[in-house]
Amino acid sequence: MTLEEALALDAADPLAPCRDRFVQGEGLIYLDGNSLGQLPRATIEATGELVRVAWGEQLIRSWNEGWIDAPARVGAMIAPLIGAEADEVIVADSTSVNLYKLIVAALRQAQQRDPARKVVVSEAGNFPTDLHIAEGAVAAVAGAELRVVERGALADALGADTALLLLTHVHYKTAERFDMAGWTKAAQDAGALVCWDLSHSAGAVGVDLNAAGADLAVGCGYKYLNGGPGAPAFLYVAKRWQDLLHNPLSGWMGHAEPFGFADGYAAAAGMKRWLTGTPSVLGLGALESGLALWDGIDMAQVTAKSAALWDIFHAAGTAAGLECVTPQDPVKRGSHISFRHAHAYEIVQALIARGVIGDFRDPDILRFGLTPLTLSHADIWSAGQMLIEIVESGEYRRPEFAVRNAVT
Ligand SMILES: Cc1ncc(COP(=O)(O)O)c(C=O)c1O
Ligand SMILES: Nc1c(O)cccc1C(=O)C[C@H](N)C(=O)O
């Protein structure tokens, strides 16, 4: 690929106008939108207004002017991106906390159906919080256990004792993507529920929870959805489970009548029961503004552009002699690409010094997010050239690039 060819792809790109809707740093090529998405220009105005007017002037009255309904309203904006109905998604808390709520709820429900169903099955090497939270969740339910196995052993780990299969749809390190319909069926055939972590999928690849017959899902607001650092997360519960599952973190915002101020807890109908305490209104405002950019975006175009960006960067990484650990087949991966190299950390630091921001994942992975709304083909071509130069010249060997940061 030449720069001219990359520019020609940009000229024909239906998503090209999206790039200018985001703040683009001078001399920066940002390949970390799968960790913290870029700032939409509109969010500066929207959050300013939220602070100045809704908080500053309207104060407590704003709860009746849109705030109280924000978790459901913003959830409904996420629904089309993940193949859910508007009333199957709500925004609340963090991905970690939502995982806890759903795992405990699924365990309790499974044990009611059949006391032998007490095991949560998940994958070794899953994003750590998923495993840490699962560990905490099984400790909170009498008799429950966590079974963590390698990907190749997952099918055999499902059985008559399985309550829940907990999988991350797109792997945070390698970008490997599970076949959602196939694994949902495998879990359900074994009599278990499935919970999908969509943190690296929502806004990255087409997701269709309902077509797959999925039971539960969670996901992150600050990556491809551009909700900002620490943005609230979302959770999905298929309609058929909504009356049968109960939030273990039963707080007043999930009560059927929060302003009835009763002593006893009565769960709200539908998705509202998954709320716990007062939602982060500023976080919801920023997420709502990020999601507005997805309105009218054709996911087929996003998928096609992701594949084109991937091909350009894959060619560069391979030319630089890096080992690609992401599957070649587009349906078997998400929208990031990862390479393995003994000096992965140093190469990432050398790229950052040149204005190309990717990230390092311990112990030897270079990871690059290819976000189709914010990047051009020419951006990826330029980043690829810098990667080749840095590796071929040995520039990454400069001592300053070996200094470890706390956050990688
Ligand atoms: C798969 C996955 N799940 C969850 C999280 C994060 O959860 P939280 O936002 O609660 O820190 C991440 C990234 O941070 C992730 O990659
Ligand atoms: N949530 C993060 C944070 O608070 C600091 C730094 C990075 C993150 C991330 O999102 C990491 C990300 N989930 C990953 O896939 O590695």
pLDDT at 351 over 90: yes
User: Does residue 124 carry a pLDDT above 90?
Assistant: yes
Check if 367 is active-site: yes
Crossing angle of the two packed helices 377-393 and 3-11, in degrees rounded to 10: 160
Residue ranges of domains in the chain: 3-40+298-402, 48-292
CA-CA distance, 215 to 192, in Å (whole number)? 10
Confidence class for position 408, pLDDT limits 50, 70, 90: confident
Ligand nearest to the CA of 235: 1
pLDDT of residue 395: 98
Q: Where are the beta strands (DSSP E) in 183-335?
A: 193-197, 216-219, 233-237, 323-324
CATH fit for domain 48-292, picks 3.30.1490.100, 3.40.50.700, 3.40.640.10, 2.40.160.20: 3.40.640.10
Residue 127 has pLDDT above 90, yes or no: yes
pLDDT tens digit sequence for 216-266: 999 999 999 999 999 999 999 999 999 999 999 999 999 999 999 999 999
Task: Judge whether residue 363 has pLDDT over 90.
Answer: yes
Of all residues in the chain, the percent with pLDDT exceeding 70 is: 100
Distance (Å) of CA 121 to CA 3, 198, 269, 326, 336: 47, 17, 29, 24, 26
Confirm or reject: Cβ of 38 under 6 Å from ligand 1. Answer: no
The residue whose CB lies within 8 Å of the most ligand 1 atoms, and thus the one to mutate among 220, 223, 225, 338, is: 220
What integer is the mean pLDDT of 201-221?
98
In 185-292, beta strands by DSSP E: 193-197, 216-219, 233-237
Instruction: Provide φ and ψ at 73, rounded to 5°.
Output: -65, -45
Mean pLDDT of 277-288: 98
Per CATH, which fold does 3-40+298-402 belong to?
Aspartate Aminotransferase, domain 1 (3.90.1150)
Average pLDDT over residues 179-188: 98
Q: Write out the two tokens for 98.
A: 């939502």
